[in-house]
Amino acid sequence: MSVGQLWLLSWNGEALALGVIAGVADTFVLVWPATLPSEPSFPPALAVPTSPLGIEVSVWPTRETGVGRHLLHRNFGALLLPAAVRAAEHALEAGGQLPLQWVSSNIEQADLESASDAMVDRWESICLNVWPAPQVGFSPLDPESLRSVGVGVGDISRLLNLGTPDAVMLFSGEAAPTEQQLNCIADWADVDPSTLLSAGGDEATTALLSPSVKDDLVAISSMYGVSEAEARALVQREFALAARSDGTIPARLGAAIHRTLMGRAAR
């Protein structure tokens, strides 16, 4: 991914919006909202007469926002040159000639405020879509959180009436507790259940942020009848179970995704 590209953002198989990448970080991107002629357009949007979609696109640099990489779904190609993005930023911040023209408003003056508010609300919701996040019934326990509240393997074995091997798998994050098991441990430790869950291992989490695996995750979500977040948790757990195997992180992640898609993942 690179500055100037036009991307489709999605979650749970639903298209959320179009955005132009204005900056790239490890776990998120800065995007300018982008809208089509069928949507409300008005200054301070800028008009891009030609686009990879074959139609004019409006971009909104004054409404730049951070978006998690997990939402990036499809790259339509370069909408703007990186130099044009930087020139627009400089002109808006320091004054000067913009590289693009303001759009012509396609809505009535009386509707501007409500259209602007609707756009802000829409993008605030997108911005607040955060992953990774623990998923009850899918995410594993976090060993450090368990230790911090005095829960050990023996406690899990006793509380859940499990043999030592099964208790070790739960404690080490190689298996996910059911909601009932999680609540039992949390009640005994007198803590909020969500504080005992792990959002996932760093290696798998970082790799799962890549748009290259988005279609597979959507397929897993549909196959198992779960949310995209839960599909990601399934792959994270499968990755953790195979963590001792040889191979690069992308290869191990690919194998974990394949096993999950084939219905051979540990459930």
Local structure of 100: helix, strand or coil: coil
Q: Where are the beta strands (DSSP E) in 79-200?
A: 101-102
The pair of three-digit structure tokens given for residue 208, joined into one six-digit string: 């799962």
The radius of gyration of the chain from alpha carbons, rounded to an integer in Å, stands at: 23
Q: In angstroms, rounded to a whole number, what is the distance separating the alpha carbons of residues 204 and 19?
A: 26
Q: In angstroms, rounded to a whole number, what is the distance separating the alpha carbons of residues 227 and 140?
A: 17
Q: What is the pLDDT along the chain (267 residues), one digit of tens a residue?
A: 899 999 999 999 999 999 999 999 988 999 999 999 999 999 999 999 999 999 999 999 999 999 999 999 999 999 999 999 999 999 988 887 888 999 999 998 898 899 999 999 999 999 999 998 887 887 889 999 999 999 999 999 999 999 999 999 899 887 889 999 999 999 999 999 989 998 765 677 888 999 999 999 999 999 999 999 999 988 888 887 765 666 788 888 888 899 999 886 554
Model-level pTM greater than 0.85?
A: no
Report the 10 Å Cβ neighbour count for 190.
Answer: 7
Q: Residues 44, 120: contact at Cβ < 8 Å? A: no
DSSP 197: B
Q: Which residues of 79-116 are buried (b: 16+ CB within 10 A; e: fewer)?
A: bbeeebbebbeeeeeeeeeebbeebeeeeeeeeeeebe
